[in-house]
Amino acid sequence: MSTKTPTSFEEMDCAFPSSLAEALDLMADESTRGRPLAGGTDLMVQWESGVVNRPERSISVKGLPELMGISEAGDELVIGSGVTHMQLRSSDLVQKHVPSLAEAATTVGGFQIQTMGTVGGSVANASPAGDLAPSLLITEGRVVVANREREREIPVTEFWQGYRKIDLQPDELIIRFHLPKKSAESREYWRKLGPRRAQAISKVMGSCRGQVLDGQIQSFRVAIGSVAATCVRLTGIEEWLLNRPLNESTLAEVEKRVTEEVQPIDDIRSTADYRRWVTGRMVRGFLENWLEPA
């Protein structure tokens, strides 16, 4: 394979396999392997801006039947990597069983981006500001990836390994996600703070899943984006909250602890100090939702 970098989309060699098996065959051989391309809403911008060099070859996985669909499998939802943000936000199953994921999908760009962009593409982009990541993390689900020979499952909590880095081999594709449903007694919430009300990259965003019974916190998971190199679970906060009463003392202390635990950076969108303050207020706000009727 040539090492020449295309200077335009017209120079890029793009394959259009008709099945997952064909796509995996192409990925298996270095001479035919290319950059997987689904909706292209992240990659096209990165290539055009020069942030990432255009590859010589890409492989379109858009619309492959094996990567589509949202279904139930016992206590889990199974979501294909090719499912779009629009399909996530419109799905009755997602709205019922992983509602924060449906809500997060409504905040990803405008309708055009939501119609083209996919859950697999968002996860593969591995941006710390990726809007779907917190809602995936709180499910403690699994990512299924595959090459031509076999599939393997990776916990979502381990899939993002660093800034723009994921646990995916060169010959593998992301196939689907297995996400445990929330229980009937638990709730989920999502919140995003950006510089404007629509089509904004997050300053801070997060999701939570938890259960409060008789004023006592029975379970609580919370994940926050845009405060580290990857989206992060605040496991120390989760453990501290377990079995505590949901009262003003707990709310004040958890806000303080969150601001001390997160270590964001200054960047073009926000300052570290502001992100720390917002994150503390966000987690407090999540818990305050349980003080109101569902």
Residue 133's pLDDT is 95
Q: Which of 201, 293, 93 is nearest to 80 (CA)?
A: 93
Amino acid 117: pLDDT: 87
> CATH 3.30.465.10 occupies which residues in the chain?
69-142+150-180
CA distance 18 to 36: 14
> What pTM was computed for the model?
0.89
Which pLDDT tens digit goes with each residue over 274-294?
A: 889 999 999 999 999 999 876
CATH 3.30.390.50 range(s) for the chain read 201-291
CATH classification code of 9-60: 3.30.43.10
pLDDT of 1 reads 42
Q: What CATH number does domain 201-291 carry, 3.30.390.50, 3.30.565.10, 3.20.20.70, 2.60.40.1180? A: 3.30.390.50
pLDDT at 228: 85
- CATH class, domain 69-142+150-180, is alpha beta
The greatest distance separating any two alpha carbons of the chain, rounded to the nearest whole angstrom, comes to 65
Looking at residue 43, its amino acid is L
The three-state DSSP-derived secondary structure of the chain is CCCCCCCCHHHCEEECCCCHHHHHHHHHCCCCCCEEECCCCCHHHHHHHCCCCCCCEEEECCCCHHHCCEEEECCEEEEECCCEHHHHHHCHHHHHHCHHHHHHHCCCCCHHHHHHCEHHHHHHHCCCCCCCHHHHHCCCCEEEEECCCCEEEEEHHHHEEECCEECCCCCCEEEEEEEECCCCCCEEEEEEECCCCCCCCCCEEEEEEEEEECCEEEEEEEEEECCCCCCEECHHHHHHHCCCECCHHHHHHHHHHHHHHCCCCCCCCCCHHHHHHHHHHHHHHHHHHHHCCC
Q: What is the pLDDT of residue 104?
A: 94
Task: Let me know: does 120 contact 67? Beta carbons within 8 Å.
Answer: yes
- Which residue spans of the chain are classified as CATH 3.30.43.10? 9-60
Closest by CA to 217, choosing from 232, 189, 239, is: 239
* pLDDT of res. 252: 97
**Cα separation of 16 and 37, whole Å?**
10
In this prediction, residue 236 carries a pLDDT of 96
Distance of alpha carbon 208 from alpha carbon 199, whole angstroms: 22
Report pLDDT for 2: 46
Q: What is the mean pLDDT of each run of 10 residues along the chain (294 residues)?
A: 56 90 96 88 67 83 95 98 96 98 89 85 88 96 97 96 93 98 96 65 87 96 91 96 97 96 74 90 96 77
Per the structure block, which two tokens stand in for 102? 């449906």
